[in-house]
Amino acid sequence: MAPAPNPASAKAPRHVAIIMDGNGRWAKQRGRPRTFGHAEGVEALRRTVEAAGELGVQYLTVFGFSTENWRRPAEEVSALFDLLRLYVARDLDKLVKEGVRVRVIGEREGLQADIGQIIENAEAKTRFNDKLNLIIAFNYGGQDEIARATRRVVADVAAGKIKADDINPDTFGAYLDTAEWPAPDLLIRTSCEYRLSNFMLWQAAYTELVFTDTLWPDFDKRALENAIAEYNKRERRFGGTEAVAT
């Protein structure tokens, strides 16, 4: 007999995106440096990747470093880069074994060479995995992504590969970093901030937004389940008059 469907996984949105925010405030509450909060944030990321897989999410996109985060003090920026190094060094084997495919979106130009290599290695080693797609937005900004895509469209128009008249949301979307994936169904932002901060500007056109007061280092499977339960109460209409099943 086929196993009974798991109700949680049956209702999990296909693509969940998360703005992991509040690490600094979490550390401040404890009288510790902001980087301590970022380190705990990595633990929350590990828990969340595991939980997303268990709940049957197919795509999990997380915002790790924005194109605007360069405005932070140099020591903090370098600590955030170190955490990407540490996360991949510690978890890549586990991700490979557990069927997680890792992809990184954002501007790669200008990143330190070893970061580029770490990203390429993680993508290559997990490329045949298909249980969960973990998409890490690193040095990512929605406006930067749209500008980079536009440069490529213009180059293709100049080369005669595409006609200007053929540019529409579908053809343009294929030039974005996220071309291969469906748009996020659910976007979660932690820590009581109610803005997109340049995340997924194009892709979030019809995404359901859930804001929570949990600070990112405290995020866990229960918090993800709560956000999914909130999502499941929403009626998605995509501009029409009837609910659309997704």
- Single-letter amino acid code for the residue at 67: T
Of the pair 153, 223, the CB lying nearest ligand IPE is at 223
Q: Find the shortest distance in angstroms from Cβ 237 to ligand IPE.
A: 28
Judge whether 117 and 143 are in contact, CB under 8 Å: no
End-to-end CA distance of the chain: 28
Q: Which is nearer to ligand IPE, 112 or 171 (CB)?
A: 112
Is 21 catalytic? The answer is: yes
Q: How far is the CB of 7 from ligand IPE (least distance, A)?
A: 31
Interface segment toward Mg ion; rule CB under 5 A; list 13-21, 34-42, 200-208, 233-241: 13-21
User: Which of ligand IPE, Mg ion, none binds 142 (CB below 5-8 Å, type-dependent)?
Assistant: none
How far is Cα 29 from Cα 34, in angstroms, rounded to an integer? 10
By CB under 6 A, is residue 65 in contact with ligand IPE?
yes
Question: CA 62 to CA 17: how far, in whole Å?
Answer: 6
Per-residue x/- track, 174-203, ligand IPE (CB under 6 A):
-----------------x-x-x-x------
Question: Is 21 near Mg ion (CB under 5 A)?
Answer: yes
Could you tell me the smallest distance in angstroms from the CB atom of residue 196 to ligand IPE? 8
Say whether residue 61 binds ligand IPE (CB under 6 A).
no
Q: How far apart are CA 222 and CA 233, in angstroms?
A: 17
Map tokens 């980087």 to a residue: 35
Residue 217's binding partner, choosing from Mg ion, ligand IPE, none, with beta-carbon cut-off 5 to 8 A by kind? Answer: none
Provide the minimum distance between the beta carbon of 198 and ligand IPE in the complex, in angstroms, as a whole number.
8
Q: How far is the CB of 219 from ligand IPE (least distance, A)?
A: 11
- With binding defined as CB under 6 A, does residue 24 bind ligand IPE? yes
Smaller CB separation from Mg ion, 21 or 144? 21
Selecting among 6, 69, 170, 213, the annotated active-site residue is 69
Task: Note the residues at the interface with Mg ion (CB under 5 A).
Answer: 21
| Residues recognised as catalytic | 21, 69
Task: Note the residues at the interface with ligand IPE (CB under 6 A).
Answer: 19-25, 41, 63-66, 69, 80, 191, 193, 195, 197, 216
